[in-house]
Amino acid sequence: MSARPDVLVGFMGAGKTTVGTRLAELRGGAFCDVDREIERRTSRSIPDLFTDGEEALRDLEETVVRELVEGGETRVVALGGGALGRHGTRQLLAERARVLLLDAPLDVLWARVEADGGAGVRPLAASRHRFEDLHLQRRALYMTAADAVVDAAAPPAVAARAALDAGTVRAGALDRLAEFAEGRRCLTIVDAPVADRVPDLGPRVVLPGGEGVKTTATVEALWRQMAEHELERRDLVCAVGGGAVTDVAGFAAATFRRGLDWVSCPTTLVGQVDAGIGGKTGIDVAAKNDVGSFHPPVAVLSDPTLLATLPDREWAAGFAEVLKTALLAGDPLWTLVRDWPNGRGPDEARPELVRRAAAHKERVVAADPREAGARATLNLGHTIGHGVEHAAGGRLLHGEAIAIGLAAALDLSAAHAGLDPAVRDDALRVLARQGLATRADGLDPDAVLAAMRADKKRVQGAHRFVLLEAPGRAVWGVELDDAAVAAAVAGVLA
Ligand SMILES: NC(=O)c1ccc[n+]([C@@H]2O[C@H](COP(=O)([O-])OP(=O)(O)OC[C@H]3O[C@@H](n4cnc5c(N)ncnc54)[C@H](O)[C@@H]3O)[C@@H](O)[C@H]2O)c1
Ligand SMILES: [Zn+2]
């Protein structure tokens, strides 16, 4: 776990105190709210201090934040949004803290503030209109300072758990590896295309990347390297690369000496929003991912600037998973994705995309770490998508098959779960803008259905579909009759 204190930022109603108190318990340290601390020290209220001028208040804030962040006892700090307007404070946080944005849809925030006494308690919440304006202004500031977004619409216990495990998403994130490696032996396992982007932490193994590395032979080679470099239980594995590399390196870490700590550094879009998060590790023996373990990394460090070298096809395939996540998460991610321009979009928007998509997975995993329930929703588009992937026999990337699977799942959702067909059409446009096909060329529907039946046998019983009622509202475990499934499959085959 990061040695740095966590600094929680977020709008009124996000639950900085509730979530912060719980997070501090999980981290085994104290919680401190900067505003309350300033009031305590000055014996004056914040609104009263404001009358001395904003500059004086920001000075005070900067001093208090520095003391808390550098003091060592406080593990979790709650900070008012205005403080981020200060360059000095932002810089201090970037260097010394992990900044977590507690984020919830505006309606949720407003409802909480109203229930809490509304404008009587918080003058800035005088009107919904004003509340919205201020929220819009603050959002940009939060996003430039945040290392991670935490879904604060979740119950406080889930949000705190997600905050604990939230990854750092920012340019230069890998520089922080040294912090985790300090004082212990470290083996770095890195995907070839990013080998020169990783700080030197001692011995390293460069893997060629791609699905082909997820074998027992790779795992044995990694175990032998760990043995050769005398890694013990207290030592560390740093896994840097696409999902294939983090899966196999995480699995080797999970099993060597019954489990070493590892840091996951995903370098593909799929990795940063999905594969690098959540603690599932594994390899392919008789079938994909059939051998593995749950072994959560101690930290996830994602540098979105690494995505610049990703081949276009890999980016687009990753975007299919981003779309899936956005449909499950609802706003604000859904709007961001729905309106995403062609391809990779603007540089400055990419960290927000990754942070919000990662936040959804972190939240779902926090609520269901061992896949006993709600985590199943992450399979939206995957039941038919897997069938398509198998039937295509290697011609399609996983994400490309999922784009087709999503199209089918959204058709089924419109027919059986009351999804507004306009949402399906929006989603299809998102995929088209990424150059992803939403129909499979020349695939035999029987081959797709046969592959789905083989999948179904493995999970013993009926196909259970994840369907979408609306963005942000999924249902899972839905059984559909064969005719409906066959029609959906036929519908996405050209
Ligand atoms: N553990 C999980 O929860 C989970 C979830 C989803 C997927 N996965 C697994 O993830 C794997 C797919 O991951 P993926 O989509 O990242 O593919 P990948 O790991 O195969 O990487 C794709 C390609 O990109 C290269 N690459 C990596 N980073 C790069 C960069 N920054 N610039 C240029 N090239 C780069 C790799 O060498 C590889 O050739 C599958 O094995 C899948 O089973 C795991
Ligand atoms: Zn997937």
- Report how far ligand 2's centroid is from the alpha carbon of 361 (Å): 12
Distance of CA 59 to the CA centre of its chain: 34
Amino acid 90 reads: R
Ligand number, closest to the Cα atom of 385: 2
- Report how far ligand 2's centroid is from the alpha carbon of 367 (Å): 19
- Report how far ligand 2's centroid is from the alpha carbon of 386 (Å): 9
- Report how far ligand 1's centroid is from the alpha carbon of 318 (Å): 9
- Report how far ligand 1's centroid is from the alpha carbon of 347 (Å): 21
How far apart, in whole angstroms, are the C-alpha atoms of residue 200 and residue 169? Answer: 20
- Report how far ligand 1's centroid is from the alpha carbon of 211 (Å): 8
Q: What is the DSSP string of 321-383?
A: HHHHHHHHH-TTHHHHHHT--STT--GGGHHHHHHHHHHHHHHHHHH-TTSSSGGGGGGTTHH
Atom in ligand 1 nearest the alpha carbon of residue 192: 37
**Beta-bridge partners for 148:** 100
Residues 6+ apart with CB under 8 A from 44: none
Residue nearest to atom 27 of ligand 1 (CA): 242
The predicted structure's pLDDT at residue 287 = 87
- Report how far ligand 1's centroid is from the alpha carbon of 348 (Å): 23
Residue listed under structure tokens 């932002």? 90
Q: How far is CA 96 from CA 9, 68, 171, 425, in A?
A: 15, 11, 15, 45
**Beta-bridge partners for 294:** 280
Instruction: Locate the domains of the chain by residue range.
Output: 6-166, 173-308, 312-491
Q: What number does CATH give the domain 6-166?
A: 3.40.50.300
pLDDT in tens, 89-138: 999 999 999 999 999 999 999 999 988 876 666 767 778 999 999 998 89
Q: Best of 189, 191, 309 to mutate for ligand 1, by most ligand atoms within 8 A of CB?
A: 191
- Of 216, 101, 87, 235, nearest to 168 by C-alpha is 101
- Report how far ligand 2's centroid is from the alpha carbon of 396 (Å): 13
Residue nearest to atom 14 of ligand 1 (CA): 243
Residue nearest to atom 11 of ligand 1 (CA): 243
Q: What is the DSSP string of 271-315?
A: IIIIITSSSEEEE-SSSTT-EEEE---SEEEE-GGGGGGS-HHHH
Residue nearest to atom 30 of ligand 1 (CA): 310
- Report how far ligand 2's centroid is from the alpha carbon of 321 (Å): 6
Answer yes or no: same fold for 173-308 and 312-491: no
Domain 312-491 matching CATH 1.20.1090.10: the answer reads: yes
Residue nearest to atom 21 of ligand 1 (CA): 242
Q: How far is CA 428 from CA 316, 412, 424, 448, in A?
A: 13, 14, 6, 21
Residue nearest to atom 10 of ligand 1 (CA): 243
Ligand number, closest to the Cα atom of 294: 1
Residue nearest to atom 2 of ligand 1 (CA): 275
- Of 340, 438, 344, 452, nearest to 396 by C-alpha is 438
By the 8 A CB rule, do 253 and 295 touch?
Answer: yes
The predicted structure's pLDDT at residue 20 = 97
Name residues contacting ligand 1 (CB within 6 A).
Answer: 191-194, 209-211, 214, 241-245, 247, 267-268, 270-271, 274-275, 278, 280, 289, 306, 309-310, 314
- Report how far ligand 2's centroid is from the alpha carbon of 278 (Å): 13
Atom in ligand 1 nearest the alpha carbon of residue 208: 37
Distance of CA 400 to the CA centre of its chain: 20
Q: Best of 206, 268, 290 to mutate for ligand 1, by most ligand atoms within 8 A of CB?
A: 268
**Beta-bridge partners for 237:** 187, 262
Q: What number does CATH give the domain 173-308?
A: 3.40.50.1970
Distance of CA 472 to the CA centre of its chain: 16
Q: Best of 190, 215, 270, 379 to mutate for ligand 1, by most ligand atoms within 8 A of CB?
A: 270
Sites in the chain below the pLDDT cut of 50: 1
- Report how far ligand 2's centroid is from the alpha carbon of 399 (Å): 6
DSSP state of 268: S
